[in-house]
């Protein structure tokens, strides 16, 4: 037993040292092969002696059990934010403020790493807890995820009894690029930037996922320590280096001029760092002087963060291409001459929409200024008009969808331009998922994954194809089997009898959700009748406005919609509605219900009023026609009285409807 412990300790010591040399010093001494072999040896010994497994063992870095939520951690020393400065004037003003109270002024300057702040806590040299910054006072306990970060030492030698350090967690640019490549392959949404990727990874409830993301951590402060006391921050950071932390570069300068020079140099060189740098932090070096200056509730008075503007470069627009998204929106993209920008080679830039292009008058052949500010795809900032080629023409999005040829239409309430094709292949996946959703045809078992398999197998090209599927083919799909295929076909068969209101909702006509679909089905009774309705006729229906009416008429006029309807009719779908037409007795009247009614629930009274063409509102105004007051009616009744709104008893309401015996 003793022997096993000694063996385990020796292996841990060696592996931790290799780890430090590899991840902190960037100077590997052991080969991956040797590392993996020793790790295996340690794993085997620990398996034989589970009582000897300690949290600081390198075997514990692969990620433990997933949890359901993070616990809160109240920071003993708050993790403050930093006051930003954007120009030389603001930096000088800071220097002057500092010099008013501090006697000897020396500054430490550090790169501002664009990641997430964390506090790491050590007890007798062992990493015991790590937390996110949160709001600076209270963060989240992400200890298990931080254990997977190889540059965070799990065990310190010669450390004080208690030590809390603060650092920045990040994903290196190189890792980030690989991570996004992999996500693209797997069809997962891409991370916008390394910072978002790091944030998402650190807040993973499953540490095994966090482990795969390969986070890194760089330390920039001692929050709390009962170890040696230091006069300056730079000495404290040097000390952390001896404890084998990866520590932020921290040169010290005597004058503001030197600091400014360093800031400019860092700005030029920041592409060469492995992590994103969004600024430079300037801090007073003397710790006693820091005490004297103190902090506001949010920022220390002894430090500022210089923010770099995003890098910009000129390049040429070679072409403008248009993509059609899953929701049918046409998105223009500029294909540009390749240019290096913020560490990556840029070959295209987003143009957002027609308004953006028109606003900046971006044309094919133009020289434009591009910048990257936190997103993957760069932005076009402006056009260099002096370099515009003769004969260039303003750019307009195509009038028909580049994928299916259906006319495009601009959203009445926004800048988006959409394809109107009900059978457009670009929108198929989303159209089918919507078609099957609960408010629409409610086809249980036809979620996004099954839709994807059906589409990828080429079995379904329009929603009508769903009704031509046969059980044998479906059973052969990924993740399906005979039983689930049979179930799906049964549900599909049953859905043919759905009320027209569900089918109308399933069409995905813009502005027509489940509520409008119900109103329309109730009013027109059949699809054929609705298809004949003119815009004027539609606008006379309650709840249907001019924009919705126009959208409906256009949708039915579209050849792709007509083709879809024809195929659905052939498949035998029900085009009729059994939704009852509302009565007219209470047409044009608005009711407010208050208090407890004797003969029915409030919800029943509401239904009754609506069935008779009336409306029910939640609050009393001058426009309220009647307030129906039951037992123990409250403020609504008083308000009705003060506004002179007529008040009905329950019996009087029923009288109005001739429902009393
Ligand atoms: P901001 O988020 O713009 O308020 O800037 C403050 C944040 O900068 C802190 O919460 C830290 O997460 C981060 N930061 C990155 N590098 C450093 C550094 N060297 N010194 C202090 N803070 C830093």
The 10s digit of each residue's pLDDT in 58-83 is 888 877 777 778 999 999 999 999 99
CA of 277 to the centre of ligand 1 (A): 10
Average pLDDT, the chain: 91
For residue 181, give every residue at least 6 positions away whose Cβ sits within 8 Å of its Cβ, in sequence order, or none.
none
Render pLDDT for 266-275 as a digit per residue (tens, 0 to 9). Answer: 988 888 899 9
* Spatial separation of the C-alpha atoms in residues 292 and 98, rounded to whole Å: 10
**pLDDT at residue number 577:** 93
Render pLDDT for 129-159 as a digit per residue (tens, 0 to 9). Answer: 999 999 899 999 999 999 999 999 999 999 9
User: Which atom of ligand 1 is nearest the CA belonging to 133?
Assistant: 10
**pLDDT at residue number 22:** 84
* Spatial separation of the C-alpha atoms in residues 585 and 605, rounded to whole Å: 15
Indicate if ligand 1 lies below 6 Å from the C-beta of 113. Answer: yes
Indicate if ligand 1 lies below 6 Å from the C-beta of 81. Answer: yes
Distances (CA, A) of 602 to 4, 487, 636: 74, 39, 15
**pLDDT at residue number 221:** 98
Protein residue with least CA distance to atom 22, ligand 1: 112
Where residue 374 falls among pLDDT bands split at 50, 70, 90?
low
SS3 at position 58: helix
Render pLDDT for 183-225 as a digit per residue (tens, 0 to 9). Answer: 877 777 888 788 889 999 999 989 889 888 999 999 999 999 9
Tell me what percent of the residues of the chain surpass a pLDDT of 90. 68
What is the per-residue DSSP string for 145-206? Answer: HHHT-TTS-SB-SS--SEEEEEEEEE--HHHHHHHHHHHHHTTPPPPSSHHHHHHHHHT-SS
Interval 97-105 mean pLDDT: 90
- The dihedral built from the CA positions of residue 291, 296, 299 and 305, taken in this order, carries a sign that is negative
Interval 459-465 mean pLDDT: 95
Protein residue with least CA distance to atom 2, ligand 1: 81
CA of 30 to the centre of ligand 1 (A): 34
Catalytic residue among 112, 283, 372, 502: 112
Closest by alpha carbon to 153, among 24, 290, 3? 24
- Backbone phi, then psi, for 312, in 5-degree steps? -125, 150
Indicate if ligand 1 lies below 6 Å from the C-beta of 163. Answer: no
Where residue 343 falls among pLDDT bands split at 50, 70, 90?
low
Query: Per-residue pLDDT for 568 more than 50?
Result: yes
Question: Catalytic residue at 316?
Answer: no
Interval 88-112 mean pLDDT: 94
Instruction: Give bridge partners of residue 225 from the DSSP assignment.
Output: 163
Residue 313 CA, chain-centre distance (Å), reads 28
Query: Per-residue pLDDT for 526 more than 70?
Result: yes
**pLDDT at residue number 1:** 65
Contact 476, 456 (CB under 8 A): no
Ligand 1 test: best mutation among 120, 281, 283, 302, most atoms within 8 Å of CB?
A: 281
Indicate if ligand 1 lies below 6 Å from the C-beta of 245. Answer: no
Where residue 635 falls among pLDDT bands split at 50, 70, 90?
confident
Where residue 660 falls among pLDDT bands split at 50, 70, 90?
low
Interval 483-493 mean pLDDT: 95
Q: 90-120 burial, b if ≥16 CB within 10 A, otherwise e?
A: ebeebbeebeeebeebbbbbbbbbbbbbbbb
Structure tokens at 301: 């008075």
Pairing between β-strand 277-284 and β-strand 252-253 as defined by DSSP bridges: unpaired
Indicate if ligand 1 lies below 6 Å from the C-beta of 223. Answer: no
Taking the model in full, what pTM does it have? 0.63
User: Which atom of ligand 1 is nearest the CA belonging to 116?
Assistant: 12
**pLDDT at residue number 661:** 46
Give the strand order in the sheet containing 116-123: 126-132, 116-123, 162-170, 216-225
Structure tokens at 334: 């500029």
Indicate if ligand 1 lies below 6 Å from the C-beta of 346. Answer: no
Contact 317, 332 (CB under 8 A): no
Ligand 1 test: best mutation among 117, 234, 302, most atoms within 8 Å of CB?
A: 117
Render pLDDT for 152-180 as a digit per residue (tens, 0 to 9). Answer: 999 999 999 999 999 999 999 899 989 98
User: Which atom of ligand 1 is nearest the CA belonging to 305?
Assistant: 5
């Amino acid at each position: 037993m003793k022997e096993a412990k000694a063996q385990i300790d020796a292996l841990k010591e060696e592996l931790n040292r290799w780890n430090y040399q590899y991840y902190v010093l960037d100077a590997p001494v052991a080969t991956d092969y040797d590392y993996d072999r020793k790790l295996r040896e340690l794993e085997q010994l620990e398996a034989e002696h589970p009582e000897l497994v300690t949290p600081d063992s390198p075997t514990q870095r692969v990620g433990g059990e997933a949890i359901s939520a993070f616990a809160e951690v109240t920071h003993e020393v708050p993790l403050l934010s930093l006051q930003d400065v954007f120009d030389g004037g603001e930096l000088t003003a800071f220097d002057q403020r500092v010099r008013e109270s501090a006697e000897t002024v020396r500054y430490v300057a550090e790169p501002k790493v664009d990641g997430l702040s964390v506090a790491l806590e050590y007890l007798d040299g062992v990493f015991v807890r790590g937390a996110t910054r949160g709001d600076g006072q209270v963060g989240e306990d992400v200890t298990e995820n931080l254990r997977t970060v190889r540059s965070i030492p799990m065990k310190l030698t010669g450390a004080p009894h208690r030590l809390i350090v603060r650092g920045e967690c990040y994903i290196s640019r190189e890792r980030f690029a690989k991570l996004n490549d992999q996500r693209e392959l797997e069809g997962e949404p891409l991370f916008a930037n390394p910072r978002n990727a790091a944030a998402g990874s650190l807040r993973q409830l499953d540490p095994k996922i966090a482990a795969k993301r390969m986070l890194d951590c760089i330390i920039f402060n001692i929050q709390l320590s009962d170890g040696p006391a230091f006069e300056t921050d730079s000495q404290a950071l040097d000390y952390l280096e001896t404890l084998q932390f990866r520590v932020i570069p921290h040169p010290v300068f005597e004058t503001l001029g030197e600091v400014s020079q360093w800031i400019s140099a860092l700005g030029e060189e920041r592409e060469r760092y492995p992590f994103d740098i969004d600024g430079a932090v300037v801090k007073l070096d003397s710790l006693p002087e820091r005490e004297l200056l103190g902090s506001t509730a949010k920022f220390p008075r002894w430090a500022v963060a210089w923010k770099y503007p995003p890098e910009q470069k000129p390049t040429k627009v070679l072409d403008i291409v248009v993509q059609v998204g899953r929701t049918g929106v046409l998105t223009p993209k500029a294909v540009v001459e390749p240019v290096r920008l913020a560490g990556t080679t840029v070959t295209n830039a987003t143009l957002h929409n027609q308004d953006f292009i028109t606003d900046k008058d971006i044309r094919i052949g133009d020289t434009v200024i591009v910048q990257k500010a936190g997103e993957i795809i760069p932005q076009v900032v402006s056009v260099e008009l002096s370099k515009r080629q003769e004969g260039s023409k303003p750019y307009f999005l195509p009038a028909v969808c580049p994928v299916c040829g259906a006319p495009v239409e601009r959203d009445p309430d926004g800048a988006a331009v959409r394809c109107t094709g009900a059978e457009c292949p670009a929108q198929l996946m989303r159209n089918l998922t919507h078609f099957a959703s609960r408010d629409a045809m409610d086809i249980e078992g036809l979620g996004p994954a099954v839709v994807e398999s059906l589409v990828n197998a080429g079995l379904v090209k329009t929603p009508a194809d769903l009704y031509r599927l046969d059980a044998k083919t479906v059973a052969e799909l990924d993740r399906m089997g005979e039983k689930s295929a049979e179930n799906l076909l049964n549900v599909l068969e049953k859905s043919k009898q759905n009320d027209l209101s569900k089918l109308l909702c399933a069409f995905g006509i813009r502005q027509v959700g489940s509520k409008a679909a119900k109103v329309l089905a109730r009013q027109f009774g059949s699809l054929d009748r609705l298809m004949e309705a003119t815009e004027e006729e539609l606008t006379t229906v309650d709840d249907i406005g001019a924009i919705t009416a126009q959208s409906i008429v256009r949708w039915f006029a579209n050849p792709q919609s007509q083709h879809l309807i024809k195929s659905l009719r052939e498949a035998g779908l029900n085009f009729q509605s059994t939704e009852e037409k509302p009565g007219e007795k209470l047409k044009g009247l608005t009711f407010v219900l208050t208090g407890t009614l004797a003969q029915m629930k409030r919800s029943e009274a509401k239904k009754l009023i609506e069935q008779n063409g009336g409306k029910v509102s939640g609050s009393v105004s001058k426009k309220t026609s009647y307030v129906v007051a039951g037992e123990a009616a409250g403020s609504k009744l008083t308000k009705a009285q003060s506004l002179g709104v007529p008040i009905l008893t329950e019996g009087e309401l029923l009288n109005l409807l001739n429902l009393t015996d």
